[in-house]
Structure 1
Amino acid sequence: MDNTVQIPFGERFIQYLAAERRLSPHTVAAYERDLTAFVLFWNEYEARELGEADIDAITPDQLRAFLGHGARAQLSRATLQRRMAALRAWFNFLQREELARDNPAKRVASPKSPKRLPRAPGQEQTAFLLDATAGNDDDAAPQDLPGWPRLRTLRDAALLELLYSAGLRISELCGLDRPDLDAQAGEARVLGKGGKTRLVPVGPPAIRAVESYLRERARLQPTIDPLGPIFTGRQGKRLNPREAQRLLQKMRKRLDLPESLTPHALRHAFATHLLQAGADLRAIQEMMGHASLSATQKYTHLDQAAMARIYDSAHPRARRRSLRAAG
């Protein structure tokens, strides 16, 4: 924690976020920065340092002024929303520990984000990407690891197949170890957000792609632990999400595909294509590891024609109407 700015009860709050709420280190660090920014603002606003005895003196108007200060500094809506989330979490913690009587953050609305639908590639575009990746082995072999281009091609094809087949986040995919993938059952055990584990189905093409890659890796890099990470780099270390993003960036340029086709876009495609085929929204929610159904719905926008087809094939009255029309 920044020693020049003291967040009241800050050490205890940070420990609570990490140990009890099990937030990621990235989120914990972001919350700490947000609270530090608020303390600096309050110190200037009140012309004195915020101390533990001042907690109950903080008002909703001061929090709104803090948000306004950030807006004038042209901070993004997402940053301002996260600042309010940090303040609400801090006051909730203080109330729970009986260190504050009130939570003024509850009476302050977060800035609303414009509703944006994520861009999901179509089925033909997705198939084109997967097929093209499987055939991309035209780079020269590095001196220290002959056969690497072929292995990398198999790895990249397996990675993208698994992203699309299971609807994984890129961090979830890079975190998979070999025992997490059950080829016989066609499922993967995934560690998701908040340390929650879920089982997700994996289709045969992805299973075959992963097994082909691992067989070649065992031949070319026999010293890699066969029970360790599924996806590794040229040095045999676990592939990190940034490396996985770069490989898709390279494929986009080679195939002249839009920049919107990111690893996360394949997760969007997973949900959208399932729903277009008539899959149950709650089942998709479970597979994607979303805590709420509303989080899943933003991934699953359908065109009117697709919705009409699903309605006509599924709704009892629609089926009767179709039969009468046919007669």
Structure 2
Amino acid sequence: MYENNVLLECGTVREFPADILRDFLLDCQVRNFSPRTIQGYKSHIKYFLSRYPVQVSPEDLKEFLVHIRDENKYAASTVENYFSSLSCFFDYLEWEGIIPENIIPKFRKRYLRYYKDPLPEERQLISLEQMRDLIDSAEDLLTKAIFLVFAKTGIRRQELIDLDRSDVYPKQNMIILKNHHFKRSNRTVFYDDECAYYLNKWIKWRYNHHVRKPALFIGINGRRICRDTIFDYTTRHAEKLGFHDPSGRLEEKFTPRCFRHFFTTWMIRSGCPREFVQELRGDSRKEAIDIYHHIKE
């Protein structure tokens, strides 16, 4: 059904059978996985299949683990995400009869010591003063507006990317998020006057520059801003301020996800009831907010 992998002249990089990846992603869509999850699976599996065959061996997996963990210096959580994606992919291949067995779970249990234990790293939490410095460091209007929306609403990166101009209600200081983010229980978020000031300035800039695209935030190419661009904006500014180390541990990095961690922690520390924070975060599961049970004022 699928063509075999072919070695390229450049070395170990392989052409992979695109049909398999396409069919797997369609299967994920049928199973009602979120767009963000599917995009993550696509990125991880495409990278893996560019180096190794579908009929993977334990030796291939060992080599890949060393490559992403020791050579690329990926954080433990990133390594776990890669192998979680691979496990789902090879489970699909087993289901379709393409391979006899999915060996990823056994491999994870033996070689990933944090497979069943809590990950030893925690996401970085910056202070209120550091967040102020980060927002102030954004010299262009687009970056400042993005940072403020992240910090003042706690929305996820993909939720911000998917925002259209029509989703923003300036008179109510309100945003209605798209309904295809399956993790959310609440699509309405509110923002304060500081965020409103810069968000309204950005909307006015769009109008004055005749931006016709529906996307609220656009990149330099004129299209909807992408995940990598937001990651670059965030880490570049945080690194200049000294609280992002690209080669450091998870708690030494500041990525877009840290905005949500910041929002939740400081809301709880300010005395906001947990059920209100859960509603503002849009958590669909109680456990998502339970990881913050230790926070004291």
Instruction: Please give the TM-score of this superposition, normalised by the length of structure 1.
Output: 0.61
Match of 1:265 among 258, 266, 271: 258
The answer to whether the 8 Å contact 1:118/1:298 transfers is no
Q: 1:177 — aligned with what?
A: 164
The answer to whether residue 185 in structure 2 is matched with residue 203 in structure 1 is: no
The answer to whether the 8 Å contact 1:14/1:28 transfers is yes
The answer to whether the 8 Å contact 2:159/2:181 transfers is no
**Can you give the 5+ residue segments of structure 1 that lack an aligned partner in the other structure?**
43-64, 137-152, 310-327
The answer to whether residue 28 in structure 2 is matched with residue 17 in structure 1 is: yes
The answer to whether the 8 Å contact 2:25/2:38 transfers is no
The answer to whether the 8 Å contact 2:175/2:190 transfers is yes
The answer to whether the 8 Å contact 2:41/2:85 transfers is no
Match of 1:215 among 201, 204, 211: 204
Offset of residue 175 of structure 1:
2.3
Alpha-carbon RMSD: 4.1
Offset of residue 14 of structure 1:
4.2
Q: 2:125 — aligned with what?
A: 120
**Can you give the 5+ residue segments of structure 2 that lack an aligned partner in the other structure?**
6-15, 70-75, 245-252
The answer to whether the 8 Å contact 1:245/1:263 transfers is yes
Offset of residue 298 of structure 1:
4.8
CA shift in 2, pair 1:72/1:267, >3 Å: closer
Q: Deviations over 1:143-188 (max 9, x none)?
A: xxxxxxxxxx332222111110111233322321111122233332
Q: Deviations over 1:200-249 (max 9, x none)?
A: 22223212211122113322x0x212x71222245543333333333344
Q: 2:223 — aligned with what?
A: 237
* Distance (whole Å) between structure 2 residues aligned to residue 278 and residue 251 of structure 1: 29
Instruction: Please give the TM-score of this superposition, normalised by the length of structure 2.
Output: 0.66
What secondary structure sits across from 2:189 in the alignment? strand
Greater mean alpha carbon deviation, residues 209-218 or residues 245-254: 245-254
What secondary structure sits across from 1:40 in the alignment? coil
What secondary structure sits across from 1:162 in the alignment? helix
Q: Deviations over 1:5-25 (max 9, x none)?
A: 599x95754431233334424
CA shift in 2, pair 1:86/1:210, >3 Å: same
Q: 1:83 — aligned with what?
A: 83
What secondary structure sits across from 2:223 in the alignment? coil
Offset of residue 132 of structure 1:
4.3
Q: Deviations over 1:77-119 (max 9, x none)?
A: 5436643554356547866x89999988777764316321211
CA shift in 2, pair 1:238/1:87, >3 Å: closer
The answer to whether the 8 Å contact 1:67/1:80 transfers is no
- Highest RCO, 1 vs 2 (Cα 8 Å, sep ≥ 6): 2
Q: Deviations over 1:251-303 (max 9, x none)?
A: 4466x34223443322221111111112344543444355544444556763x
Q: Deviations over 1:1-55 (max 9, x none)?
A: 9721599x9575443123333442441353466689574334xxxxxxxxxxxxx
CA shift in 2, pair 1:92/1:245, >3 Å: closer
CA shift in 2, pair 1:294/1:206, >3 Å: same
What secondary structure sits across from 2:272 in the alignment? coil
* Distance (whole Å) between structure 2 residues aligned to residue 218 and residue 265 of structure 1: 31
Percent of paired sites with the same residue? 16
Letter in structure 2 aligned against 1:267: R
State which structure, 1 or 2, has the greater radius of gyration over its C-alpha atoms. Answer: 1
The 5 Å alignment of 1:278-293 reads: 278-293=271-286
Aligned length: 258
Letter in structure 1 aligned against 2:260: R
CA shift in 2, pair 1:80/1:266, >3 Å: closer
* Distance (whole Å) between structure 2 residues aligned to residue 115 and residue 277 of structure 1: 27
The answer to whether the 8 Å contact 1:18/1:24 transfers is yes
What secondary structure sits across from 1:232 in the alignment? coil
Greater mean alpha carbon deviation, residues 117-126 or residues 227-236: 227-236
What secondary structure sits across from 1:200 in the alignment? strand
Structure with more of its chain in helix, by fraction: 1
* Distance (whole Å) between structure 2 residues aligned to residue 189 and residue 183 of structure 1: 11
